[in-house]
Amino acid sequence: MKPKVAFFDFTGCEGCQLDALNLDGDEVVDLLNAVDIVNFREVMTERDDNYDIAFIEGSITRDSEITRLQKIREQAKIVVALGACACIGGINCLKNHLDMEQALEIVYGKDAKYYDTIPARPADAVVKVDHYVRGCPPVTSELVKVIKALVQGKNPNIPNYPVCVECKMAGNVCVFEQGKTCLGPITRAGCNAICVTSGRHCWGCRGLVDDPNTDSAKDILKKYGLSVEQVMEKLKIYDTFVEVLK
Ligand code: SF4
Ligand code: SF4
Ligand code: SF4
């Protein structure tokens, strides 16, 4: 019996699910040989609420989503957070700096009274999450790696060192040398430092590495004459964890 896999979207842009569809032909065949996908709103109309592995995309931003996620947790043997919104709260957490009434009014204007919202939070603030596929959106190969490991009953082997390691291996010039800022020193690797390689900096979409060396990160800021506040302002898109530098 192949494990039954379901994908669920909560609050997010659904880019993680779209990215999951970016698998190449061989990968799709491999995957479909290994699992039965029984619930995936973006690609199929059939749905089956009997599943083993649930992928959760998006953060939790309404009371009704709490109840829905709890029900999914009751059904699934394994729950996997898919993408930055589900893993760390993601972009939606920007609204947590506002009063919730104010946030609703900014988005919905005079229709705000028809909507409800709560501070955005990651999936593991509501239920136990067994595994994480990180990034905004995640690297597709990592999603495949996680599914393959779960099918084999293994723990997925996800990098637990900073983005700086992959950045150096890619031969990039550090953006601090160019007067910019970067969260690479404390962010979990696994993306091959793609943003730096593409001419930008790391915003930290993969979340914190375990035991981040915040002292070293602060030393880097000091060396380049930057304050934590300056960095936070520029990098607050995933600021659920820039707080650790305070
Ligand atoms: S993690 Fe990024 S790509 Fe995925 S749903 Fe959230 S905003 Fe969209
Ligand atoms: S701080 Fe950023 S740019 Fe510099 S090495 Fe680390 S990841 Fe690369
Ligand atoms: S470089 Fe940073 S922001 Fe870019 S994908 Fe990697 S972790 Fe995310």
Q: What is the pLDDT of residue 243?
A: 59
Among protein residues, the one whose CA lies closest to atom 8 of ligand 3: 205
* Angle subtended by helix axes 140-151 and 25-34, to nearest 10: 20
> Which one of the ligands is nearest to 191 CA?
3
User: pTM of the entire structure?
Assistant: 0.93
Give the mutation target among 14, 16, 205 for probing the ligand 1 site: most ligand atoms within 8 A of CB.
16
Q: Which residues of the chain have a pLDDT value below 70?
A: 239-246
Phi and psi, residue 183, nearest 5°: -100, 10
Closest CA to 181 of 204, 161, 162: 204
> Which one of the ligands is nearest to 203 CA?
3
- For the sheet containing 36-40, what is the strand order? 36-40, 4-9, 53-57, 78-82, 131-133
Q: What is the pLDDT of residue 65?
A: 98
Q: What is the pLDDT of residue 146?
A: 94
Separation in Å, CA 25 to CA 4, 29, 147, 241: 21, 6, 16, 37
Q: What is the pLDDT of residue 233?
A: 75
Q: What is the pLDDT of residue 220?
A: 92
Q: Which residues does a 6 A CB cutoff place in the pocket of ligand 2?
A: 163-164, 167-168, 172, 174-176, 182, 184-185, 193, 196, 201-202
Q: What is the pLDDT of residue 240?
A: 55
Give the mutation target among 172, 192, 195, 221 for probing the ligand 2 site: most ligand atoms within 8 A of CB.
172
Q: What is the pLDDT of residue 246?
A: 56
Measured distance CA(56)–CA(69) in Å, rounded: 8
Q: Cis omega before residue 137 (within 30°)?
A: yes
Q: What is the pLDDT of residue 33?
A: 86
